[in-house]
């Protein structure tokens, strides 16, 4: 049980997985409630060329991922303004183009060996700057999400009435997408291009099965994210499986576990007041 903790490398990996699980779980609740899972997946894939370029130039991956995600978001925004281009078509075109560009770059003779780690991540070997970035992400989310909470909740609940409540759904969407993009850029180091979306969708979907209140849902999702990160690394340590994929499997296992638990919860008989107050 404590054996992996003796190992300096494992301690660092566990810290990285726990930080990303915490961030992914909490932010993921809003991703799921705002039905942005597809957007999250797309944003994650579109950073690939940026990652490859950074690897070729020997720069920190963050420096490649950030401009790539900004470029993709801009391209999607511009493309969907063209008449006859719907949102999902625009997203699909941009993402496949970006990903294809990344593959071309990755297959070029200049690209260093080990590019596949950009696809699947390297949760087992985070650098100091990766750990700092993950901790910074947690700090930013811990400040931003409570601040935005009431507005995210209100605009997600009833978009049509948001302006009447003095809210701008567009600005709230934009704030959420910027946080999501930042989180993806940080988390892609650990989970790679293909698996990173799991940490934003899985723990939140699990928590949704277990609670019908937003506060507990966010707390449960954060705990689930950390738990999945740690459990996945233990699996990886003892079974010798790939780190990121093991975490993704742990996320899936927790989700499957939450299904019968959620059924149980909703089947519980409810105490309901029979009479309502009279209106005068």
Partner 1 sequence: MSDRLLIEAAGLAVGYGGDPAVAEISFGLAAGERLALLGPNGGGKTTLLRAILGELSPQTGSLRVDASCGSVPQTERSRLDYPVSALDVATMGSLSGLPWWRRPGRREREAARTALARVGLESLAGETFGELSGGQRQRVLIARALVQDARVLLMDEPFTGLDRAAAERLEALIAALAGEGHGIVIATHDLEQARRWDSVLCLNRRQIAAGAPDKVLDRAVLEATYGGAIVEIPGGGRAILPPHHHHH
Question: Binding residues for partner 1, per CB under 8 A?
Answer: 33, 146-147, 149-151, 153-154, 156-158, 160-161, 163-167, 208, 211-214, 217, 270, 272-273, 276-280
Nearest residue (CB) to partner 1, 5 versus 165: 165
Sole residue written with tokens 């596949």 = 116
Q: How many degrees, rounded to 5, is the angle at CA 90 between CA 181 and CA 26?
A: 25
For residue 215 the two structure tokens come to 């506060």
Q: Tokens standing for 52?
A: 């490859």
- Nearest approach, Cβ of residue 23 and partner 1 (Å): 20
CB of 157 to partner 1, least distance (A): 5
Separation between Cα atoms, residue 42 and residue 85, nearest integer Å: 17
168: DSSP letter: -
Residue 91 C-beta: closest distance to partner 1, Å: 22
10, 237 in Cβ contact below 8 A? Answer: yes
100 vs 215, which CB is nearer to partner 1?
A: 215
Q: Are 232 and 248 within 8 A, CB to CB?
A: yes
What is the DSSP-derived secondary structure letter of residue 261? H
CB closer to partner 1 out of 153 and 174: 153
DSSP-derived 3-state class of residue 209: helix
For partner 1, the closer CB: 59 or 264: 264
CA distances from 234 to 10, 102, 171, 182 (A): 9, 32, 41, 27
For residue 229, the minimal CB distance to partner 1 (Å) is: 24
The C-alpha torsion from 18 through 21 and 22 to 26, rounded to 10°, is: 180
What number of other Cβ atoms are within 10 A of residue 277's Cβ? 6
Neighbours of 188 (CB within 10 A): 30
Q: Which is nearer to partner 1, 33 or 70 (CB)?
A: 33
Question: Look-up: residue for tokens 């560009």?
Answer: 101
Closer residue to partner 1, CB minimum distance, 149 or 253:
149
Q: Which of helix, strand or coil describes residue 84?
A: coil
In angstroms, give the least distance from the CB of 66 to partner 1. 26
Provide, rounded to whole angstroms, the least separation between the CB of residue 279 and partner 1.
5
Pick the closer one to partner 1 by CB: 100 or 163: 163
- Three-state secondary-structure class, residue 158: coil
Nearer to partner 1, 1 or 280 (CB): 280
Instruction: Provide, rounded to whole angstroms, the least separation between the CB of residue 270 and partner 1.
Output: 8
Q: Where are the alpha helices (DSSP H) in 80-127?
A: 87-106, 116-120
Least Cβ distance, residue 196 to partner 1 (angstroms): 25
């Amino acid at each position: 049980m404590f054996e992996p903790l003796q190992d300096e490398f494992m301690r660092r990996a566990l810290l990285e997985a726990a930080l990303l699980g915490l961030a992914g779980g909490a932010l993921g609740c809003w991703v799921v409630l705002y039905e942005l899972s597809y957007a999250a997946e797309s944003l994650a894939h579109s950073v690939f060329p940026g990652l490859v370029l950074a690897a070729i130039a020997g720069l920190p991956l963050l420096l490649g991922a950030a401009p790539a995600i900004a470029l993709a978001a801009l391209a999607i925004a511009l493309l969907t303004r063209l008449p006859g281009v719907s949102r999902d078509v625009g997203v699909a075109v941009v993402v496949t183009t970006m990903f294809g560009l990344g593959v071309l770059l990755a297959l070029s003779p200049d690209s260093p060996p080990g590019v596949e780690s950009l696809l699947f991540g390297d949760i087992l070997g985070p650098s100091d700057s990766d750990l700092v970035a993950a901790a910074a992400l947690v700090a930013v989310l811990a400040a931003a999400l409570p601040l935005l909470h009431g507005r995210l909740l209100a605009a997600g609940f009833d978009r049509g009435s948001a302006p009447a409540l003095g809210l701008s759904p567009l600005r709230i969407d934009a704030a959420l997408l910027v946080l999501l993009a930042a989180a993806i850029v940080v988390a892609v180091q650990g989970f790679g291009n293909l698996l990173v979306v799991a940490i934003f969708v899985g723990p939140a979907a699990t928590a949704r099965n277990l609670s019908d209140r937003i506060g507990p849902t966010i707390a449960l999702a954060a705990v689930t994210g950390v738990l999945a990160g740690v459990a996945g690394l233990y699996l990886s340590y003892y079974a010798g499986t790939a780190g990121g994929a093991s975490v993704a499997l742990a996320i899936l296992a927790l989700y499957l576990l939450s299904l019968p638990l959620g059924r149980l919860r909703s089947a519980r008989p409810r105490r309901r007041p029979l009479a309502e107050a009279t209106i005068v």
